[in-house]
């Protein structure tokens, strides 16, 4: 076992992605560019467009979709 003080910081800083709502397998990890009209309509919203890494579906989701794990 590695003592807590000896663990590198990047282990605790890893990112957890939410699964795709369509295929339920891939991660929504890639941001997709939006058109100018949509960009200005959703400017003050926390909704962004993401692409699934498995089925390549483009999905609108809240920006808190990328989460950092909670520290115990």
51 belongs to a structural domain = yes
12 belongs to a structural domain = no
32 belongs to a structural domain = yes
The structural domain count of the chain equals 1
48 belongs to a structural domain = yes
Report the pLDDT value the prediction gives residue 40, as an integer from 0 to 100.
87
- Segments forming the whole domain that contains residue 30: 26-66
4 belongs to a structural domain = no
pTM: 0.61
Burial 22-58 (b: 16+ CB within 10 A, else e): eeeebbbeeeeebeeeeeeeeeeeeebbbbbeeeeee
Structure confidence by residue, pLDDT tens digits, 13-69: 556 678 888 998 888 888 888 889 988 888 888 888 889 989 999 988 876 655 555
């Amino acid at each position: 076992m590695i003592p807590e003080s000896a663990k590198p910081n990047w282990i605790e800083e890893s990112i957890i992605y939410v699964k795709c709502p369509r295929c339920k397998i891939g991660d929504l990890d890639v941001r997709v560019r939006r058109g100018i009209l949509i960009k200005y309509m959703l400017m003050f919203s926390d909704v962004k467009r993401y692409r699934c890494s498995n089925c390549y579906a483009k999905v609108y989701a809240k920006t808190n979709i990328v989460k950092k794990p909670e520290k115990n």
